[in-house]
Structure 1
């Protein structure tokens, strides 16, 4: 069934459809209607993403509103792009801190997810170091046998390097491309949520750049030793990029491993 017909099931009459740049999991389209524009995302895991967006919204995080959802199609509000603002960064920082301060009772997420062909096992574990080892680091030992001994050694050390208990709500893929400034304000988009240590998001925000001071004005002061753990958390997205995009990211993986003390 074509997209127009699928949208009609939600009572949406599409006057025009434009394909947008999307993520690894979904096709993304801007839909013109008689009442304005919407965004449609089509893919096998949009229902999971909708649940993530709604969970974030319940904690006051600025995310696009989910308007309609089916097994393979999600319609959200359109957020026309605008320039970043100091106030927007402050809002995002404050919202992220509120997410990270949540006590969900356990780590993980009710459903597994993925970054394209890279599966994300989100099953809870007994403690946070075990989750980071078993769910985020060791799965790559099979993909990269040359790195396996170093990944396995790191996994054995994590109980002494990471907090035992961490259950904050994470965006889960918080690079700069998933921070969206709009004429309606500043928003988080394309989450890959799970519960764990908030420093995971902070590390990702610093992987390919740095947020401005306004972000920290909203977020507040992180743990004084958070940078000691930053490379541990950056190693995971570095490994994801290595698997998705190839050897050009080998240097990033090596940098992360070399910075872990």
Structure 2
């Protein structure tokens, strides 16, 4: 079997694979999580190392949490900043129907989340007929409440985010042998398929919770060992999940639209 895994699509959006490669390179920091290695990139393809799957363990999950905190702490130039080596908007969603992910430099997290995430996805939903005017109005009301709902996490600085860290974008694999003679872990987490940008550290953790990452409690515990989260972070998980749920509502409709409405309504009722 080849040691390469190739993602390809002849009609891929312009820059899709180059943006992904830039994101993978940006996430690779000393002490951070293992990131899948890029072997080659072109307009219509991305060549990656082929990983040997393994079963996740609690110790590997805790290690992922510690390493995720390290890459977050590596920081970003601004809220909404693209990964180094990429100067355009990013992409969010499946290759065959990804949505543009606005990048730029916002002064604070509420402004970024309102202007670069909630407003665009509301417009995308309107254009596709996936969201109703009432849905857009709900998202607009949520945007107005962000400074209040985000406290006391507003003092944080922009983190270096994976950006699409649902459980399917964390592969559990046999580790690369170092040849140092030291005992190696039986399995380690490997990050794939980022939508990297400068954002709030709680967003990656909220994505892991959205679709149920294995041993999530261990991931969070490991994270807190390196960088304790701001008071009340559990109450903000749903806030950070609004954007990915809204994207799913736009792309797939159905129950995601219902989930979006109930999530936003609950946040607006939280006094």
Question: Does the TM-score normalized on the shorter chain lie above 0.5?
Answer: yes
1:88-143 CA-to-partner distances (Å, cap 9, x unmatched) read 21221111111222332311113312223422112222221111001111123332
Structure 1 range deviating more: 128-137 or 250-259: 250-259
Are 2:33 and 2:189, in contact at CA under 8 Å, matched by a contact in 1? no
Which residue pairs with 2:159 in the alignment? Answer: 168
Question: Distance in 1 between the 2:50 and 2:212 partners?
Answer: 26
Q: Of the candidates 226, 242, 248, which is equivalent to residue 249 of structure 2?
A: 242
Of Structure 1 and Structure 2, the greater strand share is in 1
Shift in Å at residue 169 of structure 1? 0.7
Evaluate the alpha carbon distance shift between residue 133 and residue 48 of structure 1 in structure 2; reply closer, same or farther with a 3 A threshold: same
Q: Of the candidates 172, 182, 189, which is equivalent to residue 192 of structure 2?
A: 189
Evaluate the alpha carbon distance shift between residue 117 and residue 190 of structure 1 in structure 2; reply closer, same or farther with a 3 A threshold: closer
Shift in Å at residue 165 of structure 1? 5.5
Runs of at least 4 residues of structure 1 off by over 6 A? Answer: none
Q: Where do 5+ consecutive residues of structure 1 fail to align?
A: 1-31
Are 2:203 and 2:240, in contact at CA under 8 Å, matched by a contact in 1? yes
Question: Distance in 2 between the 1:195 and 1:243 partners?
Answer: 23
Question: Distance in 2 between the 1:120 and 1:159 partners?
Answer: 22
Question: Distance in 1 between the 2:156 and 2:107 partners?
Answer: 9
1:38 aligns with 2:4: yes
Shift in Å at residue 210 of structure 1? 5.2
Shift in Å at residue 209 of structure 1? 2.2
Alignment RMSD: 1.9
Shift in Å at residue 222 of structure 1? 2.3
Are 1:111 and 1:122, in contact at CA under 8 Å, matched by a contact in 2? yes
How many residues matched? Answer: 227
Evaluate the alpha carbon distance shift between residue 164 and residue 112 of structure 1 in structure 2; reply closer, same or farther with a 3 A threshold: farther
Which residue pairs with 2:76 in the alignment? Answer: 104
Q: Where do 5+ consecutive residues of structure 2 fail to align?
A: 176-187
Q: Of the candidates 224, 227, 235, which is equivalent to residue 231 of structure 2?
A: 224
Are 1:93 and 1:217, in contact at CA under 8 Å, matched by a contact in 2? yes
Q: SS of the counterpart of 2:35? A: coil
Q: Of the candidates 240, 244, 251, which is equivalent to residue 233 of structure 1?
A: 240
